[in-house]
């Protein structure tokens, strides 16, 4: 264990761990990859990832359970999603076993950075694939790097979960048949300005509406939206331009199978958000950020409360984080042990 890191004070910022993982794709195949101590990579200045955004990434976490074991949460889902991203932008896919084993290699090598059980901190794992080489013409790269680095991250909510407010934006993060459903960096570049504008107005982030009609909720910043109706139905938007969150997929399962709720994946018109008595944004980083209120066209809608977290949201959060830390029994296949 690492005595120098104050786990409770960690935020979400880069900390160089001891090892990173780097694999190369050349002549039509991946090599086995290596653990390296240098956290810099050298690539051609003409690399397609730098100019044309031919890159994608993933984000997942490893948790230390009570018995000291280190476990990753649903890495098979990240592997599948990364391959969908790769296919959309013509990059070579990564076999699932190679993806999971490589994540394990990096986590194991950096065991001293895995926060202790009960600290609320976790080890964030960032896999990425970039198109490299010197084909400056607009065409897929012939060579690729599959890299993974890890860093300990703090509990998202330091003083316990608390709601935050959001505002809708006129900007789109993705086009109707664009790349919104895959985890590519280009989607993020375009979201920096709307995010900054929302923050300047005093909100945590912006809410993106569907790019075709601007009438339905799509994403909350870089997280998925869910709402709870008066009748205890878990509702989450369905659209081809939403990035399919693994946290959301897990909450859908928990709502149905652990909490006996009805689930609807459908359109969520912004003009009828008063159907929800609780709402949240979900993603790997925070798991759930409760939404206090949404402002849209000058009108503010408060869900449960701007200061208190609703009961259903709390229960969803406690169940999912309980599963992730090993305190609540997990559905089969959700927990991948990293044997030391």
* Contact positions vs ligand PLP (CB under 6 A): 59, 183, 219, 222-224, 243, 245-248, 283-284
CB of 224 or CB of 239, closer to ligand PLP:
224
Q: State phi, psi for 139 to the nearest 5 degrees.
A: -160, 160
- Give the contacts of 60 (CB within 8 A, at least 6 positions apart): 72, 73, 74, 75, 78, 103, 124, 125, 127, 246, 284
Structure tokens given for 125 = 């794992």
| Min CB(187)–ligand PLP separation in Å | 6
DSSP assignments along 127-196, one per residue: EEEEEESS--SSS--SEEEEEEEEEEE--SSTTS---EEEEE-SS-SS-TTSSTTS-BHHHHHTTHHHHH
| Min CB(227)–ligand PLP separation in Å | 16
Q: How far apart are CA 91 and CA 189, in angstroms?
A: 20
Residue with tokens 């900007």: 171
- Give the contacts of 4 (CB within 8 A, at least 6 positions apart): none
CB of 20 or CB of 247, closer to ligand PLP:
247
| Min CB(41)–ligand PLP separation in Å | 22
| Min CB(248)–ligand PLP separation in Å | 6
CB of 179 or CB of 295, closer to ligand PLP:
179
Other beta carbons less than 10 A from residue 177's beta carbon: 11
Residues in the chain: 340
Q: Across the chain, which distance is largest between two alpha carbons, in Å?
A: 57
| Min CB(254)–ligand PLP separation in Å | 13
CB of 94 or CB of 109, closer to ligand PLP:
94
CB of 120 or CB of 283, closer to ligand PLP:
283
Question: What letter would DSSP give residue 7?
Answer: G
Catalytic positions: 183
| Min CB(288)–ligand PLP separation in Å | 10
CB of 125 or CB of 273, closer to ligand PLP:
125
Q: How far apart are CA 234 and CA 250, in angstroms?
A: 12
């Amino acid at each position: 264990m690492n005595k120098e890191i104050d786990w409770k004070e960690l935020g979400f910022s880069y900390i160089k761990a001891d090892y990173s993982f780097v694999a190369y794709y050349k002549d039509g195949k991946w090599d086995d990859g290596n653990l390296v101590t240098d956290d810099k990579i050298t690539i051609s200045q003409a690399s397609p990832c730098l100019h044309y955004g031919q890159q994608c990434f993933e984000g997942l976490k490893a948790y230390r359970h009570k018995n000291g074991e280190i476990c990753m949460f649903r890495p098979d889902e990240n592997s599948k999603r990364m391959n969908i991203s790769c296919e959309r932008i013509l990059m070579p896919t990564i076999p699932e076993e190679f993806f999971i084993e490589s994540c394990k290699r990096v986590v194991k090598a950096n065991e001293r950075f895995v926060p202790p059980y009960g600290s609320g901190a976790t080890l964030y794992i960032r896999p990425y694939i970039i198109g490299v080489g010197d084909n400056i013409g607009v065409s897929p790269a012939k060579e690729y790097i599959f890299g993974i680095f890890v860093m300990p991250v703090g509990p998202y909510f330091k003083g316990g979960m608390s709601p935050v407010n959001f505002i809708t934006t006129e900007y789109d993060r993705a086009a109707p048949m664009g790349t919104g459903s895959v985890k590519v960096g280009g989607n993020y570049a375009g979201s920096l300005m709307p995010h900054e504008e929302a923050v300047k107005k005093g909100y945590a982030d912006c809410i993106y509406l569907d790019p075709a009609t601007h009438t339905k909720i799509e994403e909350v910043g870089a997280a998925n939206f869910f709402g709870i109706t008066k009748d205890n139905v878990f509702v989450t938007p369905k659209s081809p331009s939403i990035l399919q969150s693994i946290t959301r997929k897990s909450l859908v399962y928990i709502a149905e199978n652990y909490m006996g709720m009805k689930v609807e994946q459908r359109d969520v018109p912004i003009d009828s958000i008063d159907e929800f008595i609780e709402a949240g944004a979900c993603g790997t980083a925070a798991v759930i950020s409760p939404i206090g209120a949404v402002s849209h066209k000058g009108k503010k809608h408060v869900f449960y409360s701007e200061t208190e977290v609703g009961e259903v949201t709390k229960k969803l959060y406690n169940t999912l984080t309980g599963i992730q830390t090993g305190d609540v029994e997990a559905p089969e296949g959700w927990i991948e042990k990293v044997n030391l």
